[in-house]
Amino acid sequence: MESYAVEKEKSPYTNDPVWAVYHVRADGTRGLMERYLTEQQAQYMQSYWTDVLRERERYRSDPTYRQERDAADAAEAARQRRGEFAGKIGLAVVGSVLLGFLIWAGGQNDGHSQYDDDGCSVYWRC
């Protein structure tokens, strides 16, 4: 059975004591997860990773829990997609309003248009 162990050891960089969290695999091999400055941090992370292992084991062994979990994950993913889509629509609306304003403001040209005061086009002689 997999587990996590906390051990006090010397820091590889200084002579200060640190607490290391090791992942102990089912075959007995160990792998360093992380080193922490306080024992409380190491114990907290040990309990966190132990809870993760329990969650994974429950997901593998309990089909009812797996269905509930998958349904909850699918609902959350759908909610996030809707939020992302709404954000993209909002960005498109704001961008088009800004572009429309810039086109409108650029076309004002201090009250002058392509027509002179007499109504003749600047491109066409009257």
Domain range for 75 is: 63-107
Confidence of residue 118 (pLDDT cuts 50, 70, 90): low
**70, 99: one domain:** yes
**13, 51: one domain:** yes
Answer yes or no: is 86 within a domain: yes
Question: Could you read off the pLDDT of 63-92 as tens digits, one per residue?
Answer: 999 999 999 999 999 988 888 888 889 889
Number of domains in the chain: 2
**8, 56: one domain:** yes
**25, 57: one domain:** yes
**48, 88: one domain:** no
Q: What are 8's two structure tokens?
A: 């006090």
pTM of the model: 0.55
The pLDDT, as a whole number, for residue 58 is 92
Answer yes or no: is 121 within a domain: no
Answer yes or no: is 125 within a domain: no
The pLDDT, as a whole number, for residue 119 is 58
**41, 77: one domain:** no
pLDDT of residue 117 exceeding 80: no
Q: What is the mean pLDDT of residues 89-109?
A: 83
Which H or E run contains 28?
none
Answer yes or no: is 118 within a domain: no
Confidence of residue 120 (pLDDT cuts 50, 70, 90): low
The pLDDT, as a whole number, for residue 110 is 55
**35, 45: one domain:** yes
Backbone angles phi, psi at 62, to 5 degrees: -110, 105
